[in-house]
Amino acid sequence: MVDNLPIFPNSRPFTLDDTEWFYHYYIDNGFSPYVDIHPENLYVWLNIHNDLAISKSDGAIILSYTNALDKDNHNIIPLANPINDLVVKKIMSYLESISKPLEIREIPSIICNKLDQNQWRIDDDRDSFEYILDTDQQSKLEGKIFHHQRRRINYFEREHPSNTVEINFYKEFNDNLKQTFYHHIDSMPFNSNINSSQDNVIEPITIRKNLEYASIFNKKALEIRINGNVVSLVMFSYLDENTAAINHLKVDYSVQYIFQYTIYQLAKILKQEGINEMNVEQDLGISGLRIFKERLRPSRFLEKKIIRPRHL
């Protein structure tokens, strides 16, 4: 399929049919467990404005799309391991020809190590860092670093005796589960707090699109009920044999510490499934979301870079 791609700057739309072959490209080039460039996330999240396009240039695949949260920001991502200076130079020339800022964002740091730093300034793209949680750490919560999480889990379990809490793990989506998600899209705040959810207005759209393709993309789910009432919903999928991507996590924040309890239970389930890491994605520069994710004590970050010409 790569051989048939248009030569950059020509391109064609990235389609559902591309997700299968692109997954092999993703694995073969060592891009896992970056979630943003996983084919499912490309099709759902980076294609939110229906303009994700694909092409090739000098050994790299080129993706271009409009930023999900900023329609005035169009990004181009070259993907090869490693990317080379010629590809970056051609992208910069194209950006200059259409009077766009000379920068490419959200580039996985692992593919930048062969670029000539005399030509390019390579800076951290902090808002796009992806957070990795260790399922063993998150399911045991041992040591001083997890003291606050342990205390919150203990508080939650004291407040809700085990016979009132129902934890349901779904290895595939059925119609009833989809309807549960649809029902709660507008009734639960997103991710970290109400303020963050108001900023992240795109998420309801991506949830609906993920639900539409849940069977094709082998989405899985965790549902937590208290006294029969749904208080937490998680949609996730496997990036590879080692890592799960937590695509959407919605909780009822009137239930104290339900977010922390959800992460704890999800980590236990994933560990039993042989999954060692959870990618809880980026914080998008939303301050409340960043604080919340940092407090989960990630085991590591997947760094992204911004590439600009060193001499303008």
pLDDT (tens digit per residue) in 208-221 = 999 999 999 999 99
CA atoms within 13 A on the CB side of 266: 31
DSSP 8-state symbol, 80: -
Q: Say what the pTM is.
A: 0.92
Q: What is the distance between the alpha carbons of residues 153 and 159, in angstroms, rounded to a whole number?
A: 10
Sign of torsion over alpha carbons 48, 126, 40, 199: negative
Q: Is pLDDT at 198 greater than 70 in this prediction?
A: no
- List of residues 6+ apart from 38 with CB closer than 8 A: 23, 26, 31, 32, 239, 245
Q: What is the pLDDT of residues 251-290, one digit of tens each?
A: 998 999 999 999 999 999 999 999 999 999 998 888 888 9
Is 99 exposed, middle or buried, given 0-12, 13-18 or 19+ CB atoms closer than 10 A? exposed
pLDDT tens, residue by residue, 104-153: 999 999 999 999 999 999 999 999 999 999 999 999 999 999 999 999 99
**Residue 123 to residues 44, 147, 283, 296: CA-CA distances in angstroms?**
27, 34, 18, 25
